[in-house]
Structure 1
Amino acid sequence: MGLLIHVLLIVMITQSLVIASGTDLADVAVLSALKISWQNLPPNWIGSDPCGSGWDGINCTNSRVTSIALQGLNVKGTEFGDIPSLSELQYLDLSNNRGLKGTLPPSIGNLKNLSHLILVGCSFFGPIPESIGSLQNLVLLSLNNNSFSGPIPHSIGNLFKLFRLDLNDNKLSGILPVSSGNLSGLDMLVNARHLHLGTNQLSGAIPPQLFSSKLKVIHVVLDNNQLTGSIPQTLGYVKTLLVVRLDSNLLSGTVPQNLNNLANLSQLYLSNNNLTGPLPNLTGLNFLDYVDMSNNSFSPTDVPSWFTTLGSLMTLLMERTQIRGEIPVDLFSSPHLETVVLSNNQLNGSFDIGTSYSDNLRLVDLQNNSITNLVQITRNDTELILTGNPICDRIEATPGYCGVQKINFSNTIPSNNCTPVVCSSDKILSPRCNCSDPYTGTLHFIYFSFSNDNSSHFEFLTGFLMSVFQLNQLPIDSILLSNPPIDINFYRQFTLQVFPSGQDSFNRTAVSAIGTLLNSQPRQVISYYGPFYFTDETYSLFGGAKKSSNTGIIIGAAVGGSVLVLLLLFVGVYAFQQKRRAKRALVQSNPLASWDPKTSGSIPDLKGARWFSFEELKKCTDNFSEATGIGSGGYGKVYRGTLANGQLVAIKRAQQGSLQGDQEFKTEIELLSRIHHKNVVSLVGFCYDKGEEMLVYEYIPNGTLLESLSGKSGIRMDGMRRLRVALDSARGLAYMHELADPPIIHRDVKSNNILLDQHLIAKIADFGLSKPIKDSGKGYITTQVKGTMGYMDPEYYMTEQLTEKSDVYSFGIVLLELITGRRPIERGRHIVREVKEAMDKSNYPNNLREILDDSIGWGTSLVCLEKFLDLAMSCVNDSADNRPKMGEVVREIENIIELASLDPNSEPAFSSSSFDYSGGFVPFHVEGH
């Protein structure tokens, strides 16, 4: 009877769709079936046109469903449904719906266009089907925190575009699959950056074949499994590695001594295994900030000398590692050191922390050793634990050091500084002193360097998360992080409360967007704090009522099907007429309706940019007061403003008679509204109202590169900082040339159009002169010459043929500015000529110091400078054909940075953990991914 009723309902719905739906009928049938089998779906899933009616969580392109995002809505169901029949689906996020159960069907392999599959925090079980290897466009596969079991499919090795593989926290078993014969394996994922397979039941040895120099992976996470055997020597070949987690397995044998080849490594977890032999020598790992080798069976050894050479070290955990002797005083002078745990070893003699120990030091745990003397420490904000040492047997032993201690890594961040406010029982006081209902969940960091109560770390993390939310224009007033303990698997967990802005609670769209954004791994957070996943608590408004099972009502609806069809026909005609009226009204009320086609063509093709009224921007800049002015140019003035949601923005306001006309204004809106990259300034919106033309950007606080090079900004631009700025801006241009759709030529690359954010990350700005590259087969665009003298490609200037290599030339001039600190044209002489003359002298390269900016500080070595200069000169080659592509420029700068970090004569490199080895992609944002 139930089956018959379902059939009658589907027939009835399908009849109505033929008349009224603008959505593809096959896609509507799939969603209609989900409406029947799943509970607690959004209440606006009504009608027969999901695309046209704007069903919550459903996005479409040309009447086809391309995205489903139902994160955190307490959706319930016992099967995956017929989702694999949505042949155009690109993005699927069902995360944090614990009521979603069942297995993944083999038919999931039909989703050939799927790029993101995010099922974090559901209750799916059973095997991951081999057919998942058919999803050739998959970029992100996140199945964390479910109950998947069985082996990892060999076919995952076929996912050549895969950037991130997240299978943490399941019940997967069997061996790590590698390629063999006709079978693929994880070793084939040469483009993947993240392999997260921790907290499962994987067994067997780690295959040496898994690692090779071809891999680009930065995170290998295999902790909390049942892996046996030794750590393969091949691990030391993967020089891109930043994080290695092999802790809490059954690994044995010696640690490969070639781990010190991993020059970029920042986190090393080897604890809780059966490792033997000597401790590995980690000398030269200058970016290493977290080391944990505790609870192994290493050979007794004196305190390793590399303890005092790790300049970036923050956390050193070496409990039960059989180290002996006196602890060197120099260990504690490392400027970033926070936590040292050397308990249960054979340390002896006197303990002297010195007088110049790190200001960040909070914990030194030396219990159960043989220390006999103590040189009194002079600061009381460092916890020292000496329990179980001979020194504590003395009568004058200090209770503060020798009492029973319980180490607690947890920390609770104070919620606010509000005056006493009493909220109702269903509301919580936010950090901004408002009573509201926050969306609450847990951030599970797969690694996290900081292990003490230094509140600045949590303030920075809060700031990062708020900036991500604001960048995506989510209605968030404030956030609160609290209770970050280390769990039993040595993962740092943060309770996150997100408070709504301007209302008491979030709606479904906002809740889903928050969780989807977090589980899409925002690059701004990962670059500094590492990868994580987000699980939530069911939001109070989405408890959901169960569907009625009243058979009489359903049968009655089926009997009235014919009447419903006629009614829908009437409603459809009426809705069509209303839609036409609404469209006419929208055109009349839309400021862009008056766009002058004679001067600027058609209405801009907007993809996400928000329209602002003149009054809104007037209010947020205090009536464009002088106090909010932050710059000016040929286009007009730039003002700093604060939007109603608290987001800081930069507002570029055109002045009458400006050098940038309507076409440039339109071009910049169209291009920037669809570009999303960490090294390109984001367009928040625009204003075309009351005769005003304004562009609203994300606020970049540290000004232009030109200002920093001139000393105006007060930022010290040493050699390594200049390399990083060069790399950031090169990545932004490479993205525009090679990955934007369509590709874009900037046409005005210069140091004044490269901005530095609060973390000194460089971003390309000012797209008023930019040109999209049409696929004409010519390889160039014939256009009027525009740009800035000194930066302009001479070949473009003479031929009026614009190519990507024109940007490369301009970028080469920027590189020469970084090297010399000079403007492109000074005293009538061009920078390229000046440098060429210096290079032509007989005593080159020694005479390079004549043109080198004194503040670079390259030390005594000129190797990196020579390579950097050679790259710059190749970019400004007279012939465009002989210039490198921007992608090649990116790779060469990366090589120079690596060389600089290894060169003992060069200044210390900045931490490579701040690099985005993904090339800057943000899969959640980039269109066409």
Structure 2
Amino acid sequence: MNHRIQACLLVLCPISILAVQAISPDAGPLYSLRSLWPKTPTSWDNPDPCNGWVGIICNNEFRVISIKLSSLGLKGQLPGDIGSLTQLQILDMSYNKGLNGPISGAIAGLTNLTNLILIGCSFSGVIPDNIGSLQQLVILSLNFNSFSGTIPSSIGKLSKLYWLDLADNKLTGTIPVSSGNQPGLDMLTHTKHFHFGKNQLGGEIPAQLFRENMSLIHVIFDNNKFTGPIPSTIGLLNKLQVLRLDRNLLSGHVPSSLNDLTDLQQLQLSNNQLTGPMPDLSGMKNLNYVDFSNNTFEASDVPQWFSTLKVLTTLIMDNTQLQGSLTSALFSLPQLQSVNLKNNQINGTLDLGYNYSAALQIVDVQNNQIMSVQGHEYHKKLLLDGNPFCSRNTGADPLNYCTNQEQSIPPYSTSKKNCGADSCPSDQVSSPNCKCSYPYMGTLYFRAPLFSWVGNMTYYYELEKTLTGSFKKLQLPVDSVFLSNPRKSSDNYLELDLQVFPYGTERFNFSGLSSVGFVLGNQTIKPPPSFGPFFFIGSEYKAFAESSPTSKKSMSLGVIIGAAVGVFVLVLALLCAGYYAFRQKRRADRITEQSKAFSSCDASSSGSIPQLKGARWFSFNELKKCTNNFSEANVIGSGGYGKVYKGTLSATGQLVAIKRAQRGSMQGNVEFKTEIELLSRVHHKNLVTLVGFCFEKDEQMLVYEYVPNGTLKESISGKSGVRLDWTRRLRVALGSARGLAYLHEHANPPIIHRDIKSTNILLDERLNAKVADFGLSKLMADNEKDHVSTQVKGTMGYMDPEYYTSQMLTEKSDVYSFGVLMLELITGRRPIERGRYIVREVRVKMDKTKDLYGLDELLDPVIVLGTSLKGLEKFVDLAMRCVEELGSDRPMMSEVVKEIESILQLAGLNPNVDSASTSESYVGSSGSHTQHPNSDSKEFFDDSGGYPPCKVEAQ
């Protein structure tokens, strides 16, 4: 041990000297920031920015690589000295309204900068012309400031730029395009986002701006002063999903090339001076939202293409010279939420039909020439004021069709647990989890939501789940989020108030808050598909866990602090020997305690602890603490074995699910040990991971990774709030099959699960399937290659009849259960429901001469509504092969995997892309299939252009 003590002293003594003498070479520019800003975090009193300054991250060479200071209430200007931080990669000072003045051209010295995020400050002046020198830029967000002047043409040099947001400023002039040696924005072939709305940009939109090889998915130019025609070259943007040109001065005809934008989901051209015939949009099959209002198109009959847009949610054609009559086909579109055709010349009879969309909330046809209303009574909002129908039916309007009704939005706020009376102090807020704290607050702005009925709570449930899950996944100190007060602005933006509550404490600290602000500003978190592009504006946080920012301190105090640190390190060196001895003793005690836990096993086990690969042993007290004393509030599941608790490991903050056996269901020691060893050595992305176990004080507990979206059964039934469309169900089936194939063919020895069912398939935060619950699993020993003779166990309805009668368990028994699961996926029904067995029901009704094999009545309406069921017949064929009476007639799980992969390809999907990377919708009851306007092929920004995301460091 003496040698270890000497080594410890040799290491720590030089460190103590460096603590006083070593200062980062980048300290000068940061001292300049500290001297210019009246208030800075107290940690900045330290002389070395790389030694604990909040928001500052350095590399191993003590060079500053990241500055994240969002929402800290900073005031002052950004000095030119910052340009000398040549290794800086991230600069985020968002949501500090007190930061003002111009941005110095010296910023061009930040040649390694990848993320420049200055959202929601008060910066003014021109954007530096030499900003094009920042060749590594991926994210450039300058929105919600007071920048003026023109857009620098040098931005066109930023060949790696992914996100360009200059919205909500005072920019003027035209959009620059390349000419000769001068660069322009048309050179940004890898950029996916042009967000220039709410400025004073003018002139014509250059035809040269749009090229066929561009990657743009968002072109948001609303609320400017653009004139002239819409360039026909916009039809070259074959990946475009959102186009907003509304609230400008555009004129001329709408180009026919617009119909080539087959991926477009939102099209807003309202409040311009467009003329000519009403454009034909029949080729735009993915359109959700159309707004052509307040233009001067030629008078024309109601277009037939209205009713061909099968995923349409919103149609707004106010004051567009429409005439003729409306047919019920329009109102039967399955996802339609609102129709606004007021101030036109629509006449005849209004017929909503008997099959109008269940999602339809408002039909506004005021000030037209409608004479009568026919069809089923409509009890939502139908506005007919200003039509002959109303003048002829005065006093006979029981449904208030002729009343100018107030179009109020139903109030919404995140639901809370049953917290009882609010007992928080007046300056604190109760979180959805009933914890009093000081939340971080701000507003979410959605520039192009694909829905119009903002009173639909399902959307907000999914947004809450996405935000909370993303914060947890990024390991940020967030307990929960609270959304409230949805509203539409005059610019047709959706706004939502957001409160983010700290985890495990009443207050955020500086580093925790700046990390939360960064992921919101950096677009690291992606909202559900229906919400589209967004930005966040945070409020100043005034309740930090550390002392509040203070006035700048003198350098002498910093030197004193540095010297004190050095003395402290020397004292620490003297304590090294004692600490080492204590640590070694504690480690030995822990190993002894683990061994004792299994001392009652049979002689062959010798009382040894399980041979684990990755899993760890937990004490009873550890798990008791992380579940709040096994509180009922933490229970997330229960069954014959006992209960499952949600917990948080105090050491790492990791969320876990703890399966605690009740006394009567506890296994024998040998069996429990075997199960732990089995689970600890199977590792696959489609299997739930075992984190550890507890075997102490007559307790048997297994600790798994926490899988947030619950069971597949809950999603199919709608209980979880997640609705799975056809393509998403295909991916769930593929993931589950891959997990089973791994157990059968790659685990050594092979494993038979023996209890495959929808409650044992879990869905993670991205809806990837994970096979769970191995309590009934059996190993296939070397002498049991064909079958295992064992007592029959499993779940009725899923159980293999051959295994049930012969008591011979094989891998094909799992295949049978999986076949039943496949039928459950397409029907949404339990295997045995009201005495009817799903396998028999499908066999009886199946007719291969008919579309969908004549199974229309059995199919789950969620997958039928508004969705193309490509590959369904092959899926049914495969399921029926899996449930053959004889195991020898069933396929192997590896064959099942290959066939589902081919079905996915038939449906136009890539089977080698995980659910986390897909853009299929999984929100709401309509089973819609829409794409996220901000979606990419990989998790953050690692798209085909090869621009990786910035890592969110834990500070």
Q: What do the CA deviations read for 1:653-708 (whole angstroms, capped 9, x no partner)?
A: 9963569699969xx7xxx9xxxxxx999999878999999875340546689x99
Q: Aligned residue for 1:641? A: 646
Report the TM-score, using the length of structure 1 for normalisation: 0.69
RMSD: 6.0
Aligned pair 1:458/2:460, yes or no?
yes
Q: Aligned residue for 2:385? A: 387
Q: What do the CA deviations read for 1:867-894 (whole angstroms, capped 9, x no partner)?
A: xx9xxxxxx99xxxxxxxxx9x999679
User: What is the deviation of 1:182?
Assistant: 2.5
Q: What do the CA deviations read for 1:568-608 (whole angstroms, capped 9, x no partner)?
A: 76566456667998798788878999899xx999x99xxxx
User: What is the deviation of 1:494?
Assistant: 1.0
Give the secondary-structure state (helix, strand or coil) at the position aligned to 1:101: strand
Q: Aligned residue for 2:471? A: 469
Q: Is the 8 A contact 1:193 1:917 kept in 2?
A: no
Change (3 A) 1:22 1:90: farther
User: What is the deviation of 1:445?
Assistant: 1.0
What is the letter of the counterpart of residue 439 of structure 2? P
- For 1:927 and 1:337, the matched residues in 2 are separated by 39
User: What is the deviation of 1:319?
Assistant: 0.6
What is the letter of the counterpart of residue 383 of structure 1? K
Q: What do the CA deviations read for 1:395-451 (whole angstroms, capped 9, x no partner)?
A: 335382323444445744377576553654423444445544332211111112333
Q: Is the 8 A contact 1:69 1:92 kept in 2?
A: yes
Q: Is the 8 A contact 1:21 1:49 kept in 2?
A: no
What is the letter of the counterpart of residue 492 of structure 2? F
- For 2:751 and 2:169, the matched residues in 1 are separated by 50
Q: Aligned residue for 1:130? A: 129
- For 2:589 and 2:88, the matched residues in 1 are separated by 32
Q: Aligned residue for 1:656? A: 673
Alignment of 1:511-910 (within 5 A): 511-541=513-543, 570=567, 573-574=570-571, 615-617=621-623, 641-643=646-648, 649-650=656-657, 656-657=673-674, 696-699=704-707, 701=709, 720-721=727-728, 757=763, 761-762=767-768, 910=929
What is the letter of the counterpart of residue 485 of structure 2? N
Change (3 A) 1:729 1:588: farther
Aligned pair 1:439/2:440, yes or no?
yes
Change (3 A) 1:261 1:617: farther
- For 1:90 and 1:454, the matched residues in 2 are separated by 41
Aligned pair 1:57/2:55, yes or no?
yes
Alignment of 1:396-411 (within 5 A): 396-398=395-397, 400-409=400-409, 411=411
- For 1:860 and 1:89, the matched residues in 2 are separated by 50
- For 1:759 and 1:277, the matched residues in 2 are separated by 48
Q: Aligned residue for 2:301? A: 302
What is the letter of the counterpart of residue 190 of structure 1? T
Aligned pair 1:73/2:72, yes or no?
yes
Give the secondary-structure state (helix, strand or coil) at the position aligned to 1:450: coil
Q: Is the 8 A contact 2:610 2:676 kept in 1?
A: no
Q: Aligned residue for 1:413? A: 413
User: What is the deviation of 1:566?
Assistant: 6.8
Deviates more, 1:499-508 or 1:83-92: 499-508
Which runs of 5 or more structure 2 residues have no equivalent in the other structure? 1-14, 595-608, 661-670, 740-745, 773-784, 787-814, 824-848, 879-893, 896-904, 921-926, 942-947
Deviates more, 1:430-439 or 1:356-365: 430-439
Q: Is the 8 A contact 1:293 1:319 kept in 2?
A: yes
What is the letter of the counterpart of residue 111 of structure 1? L
Deviates more, 1:278-287 or 1:617-626: 617-626
User: What is the deviation of 1:27?
Assistant: 2.3
Q: What do the CA deviations read for 1:736-775 (whole angstroms, capped 9, x no partner)?
A: xxxxxxxxx9999999999773787436899xxxxxxxxx
Q: Aligned residue for 1:210? A: 209
What is the letter of the counterpart of residue 338 of structure 2? T
Alignment of 1:68-107 (within 5 A): 68-80=67-79, 82-107=81-106
- For 1:747 and 1:322, the matched residues in 2 are separated by 72
- For 2:591 and 2:342, the matched residues in 1 are separated by 74
**Max Rg structure:** 2
Identity, in percent, stands at 40
User: What is the deviation of 1:167?
Assistant: 1.5
Alignment of 1:172-211 (within 5 A): 172-211=171-210
User: What is the deviation of 1:83?
Assistant: 2.9
Change (3 A) 1:578 1:92: farther
What is the letter of the counterpart of residue 57 of structure 2? N
Change (3 A) 1:367 1:562: closer
Aligned pair 1:239/2:235, yes or no?
no
- For 1:190 and 1:610, the matched residues in 2 are separated by 49
Q: Is the 8 A contact 1:410 1:485 kept in 2?
A: no
Q: What do the CA deviations read for 1:287-331 (whole angstroms, capped 9, x no partner)?
A: 221111111111111111111122211111111111111121221
Change (3 A) 1:23 1:570: closer
- For 1:147 and 1:470, the matched residues in 2 are separated by 34
Change (3 A) 1:642 1:397: farther
- For 1:890 and 1:585, the matched residues in 2 are separated by 61
User: What is the deviation of 1:88?
Assistant: 2.6
- For 2:580 and 2:249, the matched residues in 1 are separated by 66
- For 1:191 and 1:574, the matched residues in 2 are separated by 55
- For 1:564 and 1:466, the matched residues in 2 are separated by 39
Change (3 A) 1:115 1:459: same
- For 1:748 and 1:927, the matched residues in 2 are separated by 39
Q: Aligned residue for 2:940? A: 921
Q: What do the CA deviations read for 1:784-803 (whole angstroms, capped 9, x no partner)?
A: xxxxx99xxxxxxxxxxxxx
Report the TM-score, using the length of structure 2 for normalisation: 0.68
Q: What do the CA deviations read for 1:520-551 (whole angstroms, capped 9, x no partner)?
A: 224441534112111122223369978659xx
What is the letter of the counterpart of residue 56 of structure 1? V
Q: Aligned residue for 1:449? A: 450
- For 1:322 and 1:643, the matched residues in 2 are separated by 61
- For 2:71 and 2:747, the matched residues in 1 are separated by 40
What is the letter of the counterpart of residue 707 of structure 2? Y
- For 1:680 and 1:570, the matched residues in 2 are separated by 52
User: What is the deviation of 1:100?
Assistant: 1.1
- For 1:561 and 1:624, the matched residues in 2 are separated by 47
- For 1:760 and 1:351, the matched residues in 2 are separated by 43
Q: What do the CA deviations read for 1:209-242 (whole angstroms, capped 9, x no partner)?
A: 2223312221111111111221122222222121
Q: Is the 8 A contact 1:702 1:756 kept in 2?
A: yes
User: What is the deviation of 1:110?
Assistant: 2.6
- For 2:266 and 2:752, the matched residues in 1 are separated by 35
- For 2:658 and 2:109, the matched residues in 1 are separated by 46
- For 1:153 and 1:85, the matched residues in 2 are separated by 22
Give the secondary-structure state (helix, strand or coil) at the position aligned to 1:234: helix
Q: What do the CA deviations read for 1:773-832 (whole angstroms, capped 9, x no partner)?
A: xxxxxxxxxxxxxxxx99xxxxxxxxxxxxxxxxxxxxxxx9xx99x989xxxxxxxxxx
- For 2:312 and 2:237, the matched residues in 1 are separated by 21
Q: Aligned residue for 1:273? A: 272
- For 1:303 and 1:117, the matched residues in 2 are separated by 47
What is the letter of the counterpart of residue 70 of structure 1? L
Q: Is the 8 A contact 1:100 1:123 kept in 2?
A: yes
Give the secondary-structure state (helix, strand or coil) at the position aligned to 1:260: helix
Q: What do the CA deviations read for 1:606-648 (whole angstroms, capped 9, x no partner)?
A: xxx99987644466679799997899xxxx9996634489996
- For 1:566 and 1:490, the matched residues in 2 are separated by 58
Give the secondary-structure state (helix, strand or coil) at the position aligned to 2:43: coil
What is the letter of the counterpart of residue 402 of structure 2? C
- For 1:689 and 1:518, the matched residues in 2 are separated by 42
